[in-house]
Structure 1
Amino acid sequence: MIFSFFILFLILLRIGELFLSRKNEQWLLQHGAIEYGQKHYPFIVGLHVLFIISLIVEYSIIDYSIAATMRYSIRLLILFFVLMALKAWVILSLGKFWNTKIYRVNRFPLIRRGPYRYVKHPNYIIVIAEIAIIPLIFHLYYTAVIFTLLNGLMLAWRIKEENKALNL
């Protein structure tokens, strides 16, 4: 039951992020933004869709009757919500510039407030942690390992593209 609610919450959260991203994309394009790294974006979307499918599939085949542990980790669930608060900080810090795609508007300076005062790519640190922690909440070790590795490869490609766009 907790898993079903969590997955529904996660899906709704991702859809909300896509709506916000789309709204911000329109504003960015109206202000002369240029998109970068278009080739990798469908792979990112695919990775996140497959991640949710993998969570559901792995959870459905686990035999909890023989498992010695709880069905979910309360500590990791709390950590997930801490990550969501950090992600909200990132989104609020970037404002209209936050997007799931890579855009650059040359006439605006790079954001240096919020978590961007401390690290270059705080959103990606959060995404790395999310992809690892979400499956671990429910003891889904295969999904955790496979998608943490795939996400690492994807983010290496994306960060390279983003650094080119931002001239970092």
Structure 2
Amino acid sequence: MPWYSLLVLLVGVERLAELVVARRNARWSMARGGREYGQGHYPWMVALHTGLLAGCLLEVYLAGRPFVPALGWPMLALVLAAQALRWWCVAALGPRWNTRVIVVPGLPLVRRGPYRLAWLRHPNYVAVAVEGAALPLVHSAWITGLVFTVANAVLMVVRIRCENTALAALPA
């Protein structure tokens, strides 16, 4: 189990790295007249993601969840794939990527990387959904995975609606 704690810790460190990038990118966007949307749901998103990491550890240790190789190894592969997709999104959006919804007027939609796929408008949220389900299941924390998945689905309805509204103002 110590290796699972390390995995969850590393995901937490990755989240902190995202926040550093997001703050830098927010300054870049605001300096160019960026407008933020959806500030009301952002604290809920932070709480949900923090709860995911805490829930992974608490459920495994308090409920004695076992590592089941037939489940754990494929879930670990999905966690790693989700991280790769997330950072591909970050790279494709460059300074426009953020954990907040900030849109710079006059800039066109990004159409490179995973954003070139017309049928997948929000690939970063696919990464979030996959990681949120898979990370707990690496060590059989199925309650945490289920609670995160349901809560994240509700939050993503709000978030995607907000983001689509914000992006609609950009030139195609």
AA at the equivalent of 2:53: I
Number of residue equivalences: 166
> 2: distance between equivalents of 1:68 and 1:93?
35
Structure 2 residues not aligned, in runs of 5+: none
Cα drift, residue 153 of structure 1: 0.2
Q: 1:71, 1:138 within 8 Å by CA — same for their partners in 2?
A: no
Aligned to 2:83: 84
RMSD over aligned Cα atoms: 1.7
Alpha carbons of 1:11 and 1:68: their partners in 2 closer, same or farther (altered >3 Å)? closer
| Higher mean C-alpha displacement, 83-92 vs 146-155 | 83-92
> 1: distance between equivalents of 2:13 and 2:72?
21
> 2: distance between equivalents of 1:92 and 1:138?
30
Alpha carbons of 1:71 and 1:6: their partners in 2 closer, same or farther (altered >3 Å)? farther
Aligned to 1:97: 96
> 2: distance between equivalents of 1:55 and 1:68?
12
User: Which 4+ runs in 1 deviate beyond 6 A?
Assistant: none
> 2: distance between equivalents of 1:143 and 1:82?
20
Q: 2:67, 2:140 within 8 Å by CA — same for their partners in 1?
A: no
Structure 1 residues not aligned, in runs of 5+: none
Alpha carbons of 1:155 and 1:43: their partners in 2 closer, same or farther (altered >3 Å)? same
Q: Secondary structure at the match of 1:73?
A: helix
Aligned to 1:111: 110
Percent identical across equivalent pairs?
Answer: 35
Cα drift, residue 4 of structure 1: 1.6
What is the TM-score with the length of structure 2 in the denominator? 0.91
